[in-house]
Amino acid sequence: MTEGTTSAAEGGDTLTRLEQEGEIAADYLEGLLDIADLDGDIDMDVEGDRAAVSIVGDSSGRDLQKLVGHDGEVLEALQELTRLAVHRETGDRSRLMLDIAGFRAKRRAELTELGAQAADEAKNSGEPVRLKPMSPFERKVVHDAVAAAGLRSESEGEEPQRFVVVLPA
């Protein structure tokens, strides 16, 4: 069985619900692309326990950068709007993840490296390592990378200044 899929006996209803979320999100985003007069293809998937929708464009991805914005701010807003559109249709809260022009995939790789480096620094110095404030998505990626390196981390502070602290062993 491939990652992100479950058998009908293990939770096919959940998979069907997540696929439905992806379909609703894709329809909403298609309309948005039409209104903005932007070209892009929409890919849907189920990753773990959430629907994942990506908007991909031509190889340069320049057109879609408008939908990403500075540090992904527009992407975050569009993700929330897309989640609201899904909620309006289903009545259920959505945890859908949106990626545009590979921004989140690239950012995930950068944050995984940052988490691994912070874990090494905490191991070597024996001192906690505090990182700059991050979005919930970014913090989760860093927490996962730190855990993979065998250390613990926690989030501190209040949004939007919440940040990760990597703890030494």
Contact 130, 163 (CB under 8 A): yes
Q: How far is CA 151 from the centre of its chain?
A: 22
pLDDT digits (tens, 9 = 90+) for 70-83: 989 999 999 999 99
Q: What is the mean pLDDT of residues 110-118?
A: 98
Look at residue 26 and tell me whether its pLDDT is greater than 50. yes
Look at residue 12 and tell me whether its pLDDT is greater than 90. no
